[in-house]
Structure 1
Amino acid sequence: MQRQAYVPGLTALAAALALGLTGCSSGGGTGVDAVDSKAGPAAAPAPPGRYRTLFEPCGSVPQATLKDLLPGAAQLPEKDRDQAYRGTAAVTYDTDRRVGCSWKADTPDASHRLRLDIERVVSYDSAVSDDDRAQAVFSGKQIAADLPEPPKATQAPQTPASPTGSAGATAATTPTDVPSGSADPTPTPTVAPTTGLEPRVLEGLGQVAFLDDVLSTGGPSGRHRTVSVVFRTSNVIVTVEYVEQASDSVEPPDSQELQEKARNLARLLAERLEE
């Protein structure tokens, strides 16, 4: 009968490994699974955003609203008119993260474009909430819009008054252009003229919102005005972009009309998010 060779070194090695494994599993608290008694409780992850999905954008604008925003569509042939009101969905790779739609209608005198972009922001940092991350994205859009500073009141310079009760006021401190016995002129604040249609922060739309208004007058395509309304509700950012392009033979697009229509649509979408 053949016998297996006996190797003393291997036997010793096996015994050492067995001893090491026993030591690691002992209750002395020195193993890899030992818990540091001084470590505090793990920080709770930041809360997720309110929204987990997005609504379908092309069907989110009622046809009555589209007729108002795209007046040229009514003059198109029936097939083209239906396509104008149907809109074209934006190409995205994850409809739970970002969706969009665009509409257009052209006439000989003017053309109108409407674009809708809806983004659901997700934070991949457990210490930063979805809402905080969405606010950072929104702030970046607002900074990029470069909104003008709101006007500030200014005052006319005042003439220093001479000390009360001092004897012998000098000519430098005594006004010479004010009639004797008349009251000192009171400086009145002056405010730079505004129209109320400047790009600005909006109140009462989502949690934060702003409006941008840009008129372009050059180029062979004529003058066009772009009004953008951007607002954030929780971790969703909505952008409404409304463009009217006019030929050189007519007046430039009316800012007030475009702003009103864009804001009305933005309010409708904000209500949709609250449903």
Structure 2
Amino acid sequence: MAYVPGVALLAALAVGCSAGSDGGATDADSKPGGPTVTTAPPGKYRTLPAPCRAVPGSTLKDLLPGVAELPRQQQEKALRGSPTITYDTDRKVGCSWKADAPDSTRNLSIDFERVVSYDPLVSDDDRARALYLKKEDAAELPGSSTPGSGPEKDAPTSTGGGEKDQEKEKETGKPGDGTGPADPSPSASGSAGTSASGSVGPSSGTPGTPGGSGGEDLRPRVVSGLGDAAFLDDLLTRAGSTAQHRTVSVVFRTSNVIVTVRYGEQPALVTKVPDSKELQDKAQALARKLAEVISE
């Protein structure tokens, strides 16, 4: 009983202190002119689509002509695709397909990456933008040699070209930077390709020159009207005496998601060069469909 008054006194003092301080640390924050901490907003997307189901079967049959010739069971297996092995399907997923036809082998892969910023002062969108620009810089697009000069920085696209650009493609599989002198011959535009011997020869639309049969610029470039920013890369490679392989990549960003489409072809004949225009058109069409899938 002797301790009861002391307990009561301590309780009263505690109540009085709480009432007087009104939250202690929060009081300092609520004073006029106190520091205000603003947390960056999260990204628009919190999930990713199922990659192997993101491409309709009819589209896959168009992109992989050899699939239509397979028996039904094998066809269904080929259309299912192979999911990319990843340790965090909430952040990164992908799928790939391959089909052999009598005249060529086609391969396709798609990747979705959801970017999350762990810095409270940097938004998911800003982090995704920085990551996208690194990918664009690594592609070394013509007219985008300056670091950070991507579509989100209003970088101009290149329209030059000529023999110097063709020589660069012949040596590296990458197109030139548009600084070479233009070929005055009307037939040179959009008609140069790399032959089996490595020399420049006739072909249907290759990215070493300003355009294909329709006058389009087929070189790697910034792509407009796709997501928040996009670019296309076109690489022609060859190992030893094997047929040449062309891979067209379309990379685009929409909010905090970065999507990569890779579409390639290797002809059966070593003398044939894969058609840039066909691969580019189909890769871009698929990228636009995937942009719609993400927005659904």
TM-score, normalization by structure 2: 0.66
After TM superposition, the structure 1 = structure 2 runs for residues 93-172 of structure 1, keeping only pairs within 5 Å, are 93-149=87-143, 150-151=157-158
Q: Shift of the alpha carbon at 1:249?
A: 4.1
The whole-number CA distance in structure 2 between the counterparts of 1:152 and 1:83 is 43
Structure 2, unpaired ranges of 5+ = 1-9, 144-156, 161-179, 183-208, 212-216
Aligned twin of 1:255: 276
* Residue 266 (structure 1) aligned with residue 287 (structure 2): yes
Q: Shift of the alpha carbon at 1:28?
A: 9.9
How many residue pairs were aligned?
A: 217
The whole-number CA distance in structure 1 between the counterparts of 2:240 and 2:279 is 21
Distance 1:45-1:78 versus aligned 2 partners, 3 A rule? same
Distance 1:253-1:38 versus aligned 2 partners, 3 A rule? same
For the 8 Å contact 1:152–1:191, the answer to whether it is kept is no
Q: Shift of the alpha carbon at 1:86?
A: 0.7
For the 8 Å contact 1:109–1:250, the answer to whether it is kept is no
SS of the aligned residue for 1:58 comes to: helix
Q: What is the letter of the counterpart of residue 237 of structure 1?
A: I
Q: Shift of the alpha carbon at 1:26?
A: 9.6
Q: What is the letter of the counterpart of residue 53 of structure 1?
A: T
Q: What is the letter of the counterpart of residue 246 of structure 1?
A: P
For the 8 Å contact 2:227–2:252, the answer to whether it is kept is yes
After TM superposition, the structure 1 = structure 2 runs for residues 1-275 of structure 1, keeping only pairs within 5 Å, are 35=28, 40-149=34-143, 150-151=157-158, 192=182, 194-195=210-211, 196-275=217-296
**Higher Cα Rg, which structure:** 1
Q: What is the letter of the counterpart of residue 63 of structure 1?
A: G
Q: Relative to total residues, which structure has the larger helix share, 1 or 2?
A: 2
SS of the aligned residue for 2:53 comes to: coil
- Cα RMSD (Å): 2.6
The whole-number CA distance in structure 1 between the counterparts of 2:47 and 2:81 is 21
Percent of aligned pairs with the same residue? 55
Q: What is the letter of the counterpart of residue 86 of structure 1?
A: R
TM-score, normalization by structure 1: 0.71
For the 8 Å contact 1:223–1:247, the answer to whether it is kept is no
Distance 1:135-1:116 versus aligned 2 partners, 3 A rule? same
Distance 1:43-1:263 versus aligned 2 partners, 3 A rule? same
Q: Shift of the alpha carbon at 1:101?
A: 0.4
Structure 1, unpaired ranges of 5+ = 1-17, 154-189
